[in-house]
Structure 1
Amino acid sequence: MPQQTTEPQPRIVVDHVSKWFNKRSSRSFKDAFINVIRRRPVRSQQFQALKDVTFSIGEGESVAVMGLNGSGKSTTLKLVSGVLEPDEGRILTRGRVAGLIEVGAGFHPDLTGRENVFLNAAILGMSEKETKERFDEILAFSEIGDFIDQEVKHYSSGMFMRLAFSVAIHVELDVLLVDEVLAVGDAPFRAKCNAKLKELAERGVTMMVVSHSKGQVKQLCTRGIVIRKGEVVFDGAIGEALEVLEQG
């Protein structure tokens, strides 16, 4: 009998997902203040950020989610990461997921960099023993040196990014979610981060990347999903996706 091959299960499933946000109708802070003083109800309108979005990302795929500002791409990433919940539909992930969604997200300002490494690693599912074993590698990659024992409220946004990225990539992960955080920092460190992301992709880590950098997505991704006004308008080869994106 011929040997049957089974396709790998998807790591990420976004199934008919819609998301709304409330948009306040007060035109200014002054209007809002007067409404409170006069006890008038503050009216709000619902803005639909995502409309029936459906796609899946297979094991080992590197996929760029692209769109103009306000298109819904970052909302999609936050939904997949669990930071937000869908109003309709469902999102499924399989395996250990690490997200670089916002610079410094999950960092406690009054803790040192060292303490935040252990805090963030625990949030991402690493044991204290694993973190201790990888601490020197995390510190070396971040290049923040003696600042590791300073409170992170004194860090620049670049230092936040270096440390957050370094922790995330040293987790034994199956899925990595990356937002525009790599726009922060100097060019040599960005190049170092991109090289590490490429290495993870080659190792078979599933990646979902939100980026405005054509060079970065071409280097990392073979597939692109273009979102326009909350709807998926294209899902296919990265070159074609970039062409669709340029069309607006």
Structure 2
Amino acid sequence: MPKTSDAASLPRIVVDDVHKNFKLRHTHSIKETALAAVRRKPLTTDFHALDGVSFEIGVGEAVALLGYNGSGKSTMLKLISGVLAPDSGSVLTRGRVAGLIEVGAGFHPDLSGRENIFLNAAILGMSKKETEERYEEIVAFSEIEQFIDTEVKHYSSGMFLRLAFSVAIHTEMDVLLIDEILSVGDEPFQKKCLARVRELHAQGKTLVVVSHDLDMVSKLCDRGILLQKGKLRFDGATTEAVQLMRS
């Protein structure tokens, strides 16, 4: 068992020579597929989402994954979360990882908000006891107490987002992954969410953030990893990474 000081010096995330490819389909129906086959056109092409990416993220770091659409940043976040597996290379994490990647993906539309809190918290790795202890805090943060026993299929998109984010942000975690979620919702709730994320970082949690909001990541993250066409282009200060993005 490593000493506490040794454990603190170990990285939370290790990404080692990761490759990830996807098949892009070029037909959308049986007729199109048949025509393409007759004309000897390719039905699919390989898309190299990540091509030999390596980096480490330490305990308590706040890191922005940056890049234009198709650069591989969201794919990288899903690999870190365990939603996807690399085709080659490895992605290792230490501690409990919570992802704000597809917020509310585990919600059931026919269950009430209350029932979905327990369901989603369990999917995120919390025990029933942990959820019960944090239930009031989760509901209060979401600001939808009045509708907590209503089926979530009757929620507006804003209400759904508030509850889903609140569950995710109150899980017990060592690493928090965030994908664009802070750009959704009204401004007061965005500010509240950002304040909560900063609070978690101040507690020593490791943050990995994907966002097109360069001003937000500049304030939230100290380090920026810039991906370009699936390759690591830059790894350093967020201010420099943002300047490269803007240039």
TM-score normalised over the length of structure 2: 0.91
Q: Take 2:31 and 2:74, find their aligned partners in 1: how far apart are those partners?
A: 30
Q: Take 2:14 and 2:156, find their aligned partners in 1: how far apart are those partners?
A: 35
Structure 2 SS opposite 1:244: helix
User: Judging changes above 3 Å, is the alpha-carbon distance between structure 1 residues 156 and 70 closer, same or farther for their aligned structure 2 residues?
Assistant: farther
User: Judging changes above 3 Å, is the alpha-carbon distance between structure 1 residues 6 and 182 closer, same or farther for their aligned structure 2 residues?
Assistant: closer
Partner of 1:184: 184
What amino acid maps onto 1:160 in structure 2? F
TM superposition shift of 1:35: 5.5
Q: What pairs up with 1:69-218 in 2 under 5 angstroms?
A: 69-218=69-218
What amino acid maps onto 1:87 in structure 2? D
Q: Take 1:156 and 1:74, find their aligned partners in 2: how far apart are those partners?
A: 26
Structure 1 SS opposite 2:12: strand
TM-score normalised over the length of structure 1: 0.90
Q: Take 1:172 and 1:178, find their aligned partners in 2: how far apart are those partners?
A: 15
Structure 2 SS opposite 1:119: helix
Partner of 2:12: 11
User: Judging changes above 3 Å, is the alpha-carbon distance between structure 1 residues 112 and 35 closer, same or farther for their aligned structure 2 residues?
Assistant: farther
Structure 1 residues 221-246: Cα deviation after superposition (integer angstroms, max 9, x where no partner): 10000111111100000110101111
TM superposition shift of 1:200: 0.7
TM superposition shift of 1:31: 4.2
Structure 1 SS opposite 2:71: coil
TM superposition shift of 1:157: 2.6
Partner of 1:45: 45
TM superposition shift of 1:24: 1.1
Q: Take 1:185 and 1:175, find their aligned partners in 2: how far apart are those partners?
A: 23
Alignment check: 8 A CA contact 1:106 1:120 kept: yes
Alignment check: 8 A CA contact 2:33 2:43 kept: no
Alignment check: 8 A CA contact 2:8 2:59 kept: no
TM superposition shift of 1:219: 1.8
Stretches of 4+ moved more than 6 A in 1? Answer: 4-7
Structure 1 residues 49-104: Cα deviation after superposition (integer angstroms, max 9, x where no partner): 11111111100000000111111111111111111111111111110110000232
Any gaps of 5 or more consecutive residues in structure 2?
none
Q: Take 1:55 and 1:216, find their aligned partners in 2: how far apart are those partners?
A: 23
TM superposition shift of 1:112: 1.5
The count of corresponding residues between Structure 1 and Structure 2 is 242
Partner of 1:22: 23
Alignment check: 8 A CA contact 2:120 2:167 kept: yes
Alignment check: 8 A CA contact 2:100 2:179 kept: yes
RMSD: 2.3
Q: Take 1:88 and 1:167, find their aligned partners in 2: how far apart are those partners?
A: 33
Q: Take 1:66 and 1:41, find their aligned partners in 2: how far apart are those partners?
A: 35
Structure 1 residues 150-203: Cα deviation after superposition (integer angstroms, max 9, x where no partner): 222222332222112211221121000000012111000000000111111111
Calculate percent identity across the aligned residue pairs. 61
User: Judging changes above 3 Å, is the alpha-carbon distance between structure 1 residues 10 and 33 closer, same or farther for their aligned structure 2 residues?
Assistant: same
What amino acid maps onto 1:17 in structure 2? V
Alignment check: 8 A CA contact 1:198 1:219 kept: no
Structure 2 SS opposite 1:10: coil
Alignment check: 8 A CA contact 1:50 1:230 kept: yes
Q: Take 1:93 and 1:131, find their aligned partners in 2: how far apart are those partners?
A: 24
What amino acid maps onto 1:207 in structure 2? L
What amino acid maps onto 1:187 in structure 2? E
Partner of 1:235: 235
